[in-house]
Structure 1
Amino acid sequence: MSPEARQTDETYEAFLEHVRTYNYVGDAAGVLGWDQQVTMPEEGTPARSKQSSALSTLRHDLLTDDDLAAWLDELDGAVEDERQAVVREVERAHERASAVPEDLVKRISEASSNALPVWEGAKADADFSQFEETLQELVELRREYAAEIDPDRDPYEVLFENFEPYIDIETAEAILTRLREELPALIDAIADSDVEPADPFEGEYDPAAQEDLVREALDTLGYDWDRGRLDTAAHPFSTGTQFDARVTTRFAPADPMGAVGSTIHEFGHASYTLGLPDEHYGTPLGDSRDMTVHESQSRLWENHVGRSLPFWRLFAPAVEDHLGVDATPRALYEHANEVYDDNLIRVEADELTYHMHIVVRFEIERDLIRGDLEVSEVPQVWNDKYEEYLGVRPENDAEGCLQDIHWSHGNFGYFPTYSLGSVLASQLFAAAERELGALDDDIESGEFDRLYGWLNENVHGHGCRYTTPELIREATGEEFTADYFLDYATEKYGDLYDL
């Protein structure tokens, strides 16, 4: 080995150790965030906001450190393959973080932590006015953040890149526009259909029985309980690392299928996290590729597996065992895929109208950040858009603009990745079946190893080695497209509703 190569190796190892420390601090902050939403006492917020702020500040310091900057300069162009991917990812994060003053990072962290209980209280009282001032602060802070990174660019585009840095906003908007333009015809045809999907559920079901049911669903899908756990949260989510990937769900007495769907959705996130390479923990090679890919995994398991007829042939006995509902697999399948023309809640939405919920949020948060919409106007605009796009109008703010937690975290730009992820899920599932053959028999028999193996080889195992478009091409052989989702939706719901 030449002296130059030896020096590069030594620099890379020092750089990598610094990167690991940065990521360990972020993972610790993630555990505190999980605790705040799941187990923290109600009065713990003042201390938690300070703790979260301290970790955010420390992480910011590590990412903007002068030594890191020097290492990045030395390594740029001096390393190849996987090492170059690590440098690329860290360099991008370093450049963005270096543009943002530490004081602003601290203010954003504290404001987001303090916002959570305010949002929870406002939602409980169905009163947006309680949250309006807090939301205004978060919008202003995020505008300031975007301006620090690039004052000459669209601030919403800058924020969108926090969640999806490699799919440009034009591509995202084009896909959302296509869904908004093409799905309503299918939704309207379903509404006009004479088919009435089965509904085998009556009355209310004990949350404890529902928990037993969703735990069996996790068992059936192969969730690794040694590296995960199940809890409840006001807004279900998954978080963690390849060594500790936790899921949460929630239970509504009259909607046990909602709990099954949300649990499988979060399981999909966790399956991705648990599939990341153990040996690369703490580096970009052991981290998930951004939110479009993450959402593709949750939507693949929720929709292409959990909402499939083969799954309900497998899982119908569990529904009878835990809930006492003796229903045919076909009845459960029809109920799991019923398209509702009067649903106001995104997380309870069917697979088709779900994307209209996303379009509403995308358009509102985009206009908020761009300054084209006042915070005080959000409830009215939200309600008007729901009436226009979904034909329903919220009766109060809790079932309207306060239903999601994302804005209380300051996460503007997140929502489009839900639809992008659904679109990618269909493209990935189609690619898996092209290589493996139809997966219906595997799903019906509870054999998921082939699907897991394909996803691990083509998605999970790469970490952040590839950009999102590169990963899609590597996995599917094609560019990112909505064709597979629209074809899948047309075929599936055409069969369900005799269209």
Structure 2
Amino acid sequence: MATQDSVPDAYDDLLERYERATYIADAGQVLSWDQEVMMPEGGTPARSKQKSALSGAKHDVLTSDEFADSLEASEAADLPQPERSVVREIRREYDRAAKVPKSLVERISEETSNALPVWKQAREESDWSQFAPQVETLLELKREYAEHIDPDADSYEVLFADYEPWLDLSVAEDILEQLREELVPLIAELKDADADLASPFEGGTYPEDDQMALSRDTLEYLQYPFDRGRIDTAPHPFSTGTQFDARVTTRFDESDPVSSIGSVIHEFGHATYTLGLPQEQYGTPLGQHRGLSVHESQSRLWENHVGRSRGFWEGYAPMVNDQFGTDVSPQEGYEAANQIYPENLIRVEADELTYHMHIILRFEIERALLAGELDVEEVPAVWNDKMEEYLGVRPDSDANGCLQDIHWSHGSFGYFPTYSLGSVMAAQLFDAAEDDIPELDDKLRAGEFDALHDWLTENVHSHGQRYETNRLVKEATGSEFTADAFVEYANEKFGDLYGL
């Protein structure tokens, strides 16, 4: 960063105001975490008002005349890098916020808080009709939100930019189409392959307490700092926090411990990115993550390229056996973690390849909903038809179909493509890490994660929002962002596993 003497007073004032908005937003995150993890069931009416008030307070700070004046003066100043990046990010956020009425911001916040317990109950009772009115309301509010920001743009494109600000929606569409073209025939080949991969956990019962103990051991093995985090259970796994306090959650299926293992490692990836952001930049854009595509690249890298690697299971299998009293070999654990299950109904439990069919399905449904081409009450039938078309299986209930994800209760329309963008980005980043870190696989086999963690911190985490997404990938890997590394990785890894 530049010295104090090299930046104008307007920039300092801008940063002070922006930091205040960040602190308010982070307080809202803690309230959201509490609502999903700890809050009594009856607390929603108060919590929705509290979160609405915080959203309004943040909006007030970001859209004040004083904020705008400091922003304009900062843009006119001859600032060094990375201060110009800070101003670029703040300008983008201000321009979007200033177009949206405070009353709408507060109402969206309140409605999402109210929708959460409705989604939980609808999921428990497997009844989409209970949740449908909340979805309709949130769709209307998010359409209105998008229209305020850009009345001439596709509403989905506007909402997608909330999660991925620096990649055009067309990039996501092209990557999803490439994944469909490449993965559908590969998955078909794998299904027809004469391979008998190990299923060492099949038929067993793995109590939740034992799985939680393994989850904690897994996080400690990966060097998660519990003095800056914690693990809890939630209806839908997630991670949230700051570089000082990044928490993870998971959930358990007593018949399938592999699912929770993947979930915990995935959320660890999110948390380690958050914890790796520069502490001295907390509150500024340089202390915030680049966007959801990059965030998902970190979770998918640790989940898939580390947690589903043969080397990882060399060191990890003994921990699993100690906890469950099993005798699973590293090779059996590796095979169990990488079996292709097209018949799987649940996205967060999906294998590495069919996972993307789940994303494509949600992307198509969201676009149709926002465009008014699909009625909310039609979602279960369309969802089930698409599951049958893409994966050859029909959900047996709404809970295992259109109610499985929490995102729509958050009003997070436009989020899902970032999962696939993150997955393909993870492959590109991991390739670069392998080139730069001698004998990385041997290090993973030995449970030595410092080199990979340091590489990711240096090349991704430490930059915060200094670079736009494609520039960040290019700085880290030397190449433009593409799906090519993922396609090559998928064909090589699964071709070897299934003997293609």
Amino acid at match of 1:317: P
The SS at the match of 2:29 is helix
- Measure the CA separation in 2 of the matches of 1:438 and 1:412: 41
Which residue of structure 2 lines up, in the alignment, with residue 386 of structure 1? 387
Which residue of structure 2 lines up, in the alignment, with residue 244 of structure 1? 245
1:421 has 2:403 as partner: no
The SS at the match of 2:399 is coil
Deviation at 1:6, TM superposition (A): 6.1
Which residue of structure 1 lines up, in the alignment, with residue 225 of structure 2? 224
Instruction: List aligned pairs for 1:81-120, cutoff 5 A.
Output: 81-120=81-120
Deviation at 1:77, TM superposition (A): 4.0
- Measure the CA separation in 2 of the matches of 1:400 and 1:461: 38
Which residue of structure 2 lines up, in the alignment, with residue 9 of structure 1? 8
- Measure the CA separation in 2 of the matches of 1:231 and 1:365: 30
Deviation at 1:7, TM superposition (A): 9.6
- Measure the CA separation in 2 of the matches of 1:57 and 1:65: 12
- Measure the CA separation in 2 of the matches of 1:244 and 1:333: 32
Amino acid at match of 1:484: A
Which residue of structure 2 lines up, in the alignment, with residue 310 of structure 1? 311
Which residue of structure 2 lines up, in the alignment, with residue 493 of structure 1? 494
TM-score by length of 2: 0.98
Which residue of structure 2 lines up, in the alignment, with residue 326 of structure 1? 327
The SS at the match of 2:198 is coil
TM-score by length of 1: 0.98
- Measure the CA separation in 1 of the matches of 2:195 and 2:290: 41
Amino acid at match of 1:140: E
Q: Which segment drifts farther, 209-218 or 403-412?
A: 209-218
- Measure the CA separation in 2 of the matches of 1:8 and 1:463: 20
Deviation at 1:8, TM superposition (A): 5.0
Contact 2:8 2:74 in 1 (8 A): no
Contact 2:363 2:417 in 1 (8 A): yes
- With over 3 angstroms needed to count, the CA separation of the structure-2 counterparts of 1:77 and 1:471, relative to structure 1, is farther
1:51 has 2:19 as partner: no
- Measure the CA separation in 1 of the matches of 2:66 and 2:280: 25
Deviation at 1:47, TM superposition (A): 0.3
- With over 3 angstroms needed to count, the CA separation of the structure-2 counterparts of 1:7 and 1:444, relative to structure 1, is closer
Structure 1 residues 349-395: Cα deviation after superposition (integer angstroms, max 9, x where no partner): 00000000000000000111122211111111111111111111111
- Measure the CA separation in 1 of the matches of 2:42 and 2:466: 42
- Measure the CA separation in 1 of the matches of 2:424 and 2:450: 23
Deviation at 1:10, TM superposition (A): 1.5
Number of matched pairs: 495
Structure 1 residues 209-229: Cα deviation after superposition (integer angstroms, max 9, x where no partner): 111111111111110111000
Instruction: List aligned pairs for 1:26-425, cutoff 5 A.
Output: 26-78=25-77, 79-201=79-201, 202-425=203-426
- Measure the CA separation in 2 of the matches of 1:375 and 1:80: 50
Deviation at 1:437, TM superposition (A): 3.2
Runs of 4+ in 1 over 6 A off after TM superposition: none
Q: CA RMSD in A?
A: 1.0
Amino acid at match of 1:139: L
- Measure the CA separation in 2 of the matches of 1:243 and 1:448: 21
| Gapped regions of structure 1 (runs ≥ 5) | none
Structure 1 residues 153-211: Cα deviation after superposition (integer angstroms, max 9, x where no partner): 00000000000010000111000011011101110011001112101113211111111
Structure 1 residues 210-260: Cα deviation after superposition (integer angstroms, max 9, x where no partner): 111111111111101110001000000000000000000111110111111
- Measure the CA separation in 2 of the matches of 1:157 and 1:438: 42
Amino acid at match of 1:39: M
The SS at the match of 2:249 is strand
- Measure the CA separation in 1 of the matches of 2:438 and 2:164: 31
The SS at the match of 1:81 is coil
Structure 1 residues 20-49: Cα deviation after superposition (integer angstroms, max 9, x where no partner): 111000100000000000000000000000
- Measure the CA separation in 2 of the matches of 1:498 and 1:192: 11
Deviation at 1:80, TM superposition (A): 2.4
- Measure the CA separation in 2 of the matches of 1:340 and 1:265: 19
Contact 2:11 2:73 in 1 (8 A): no
Amino acid at match of 2:29: G
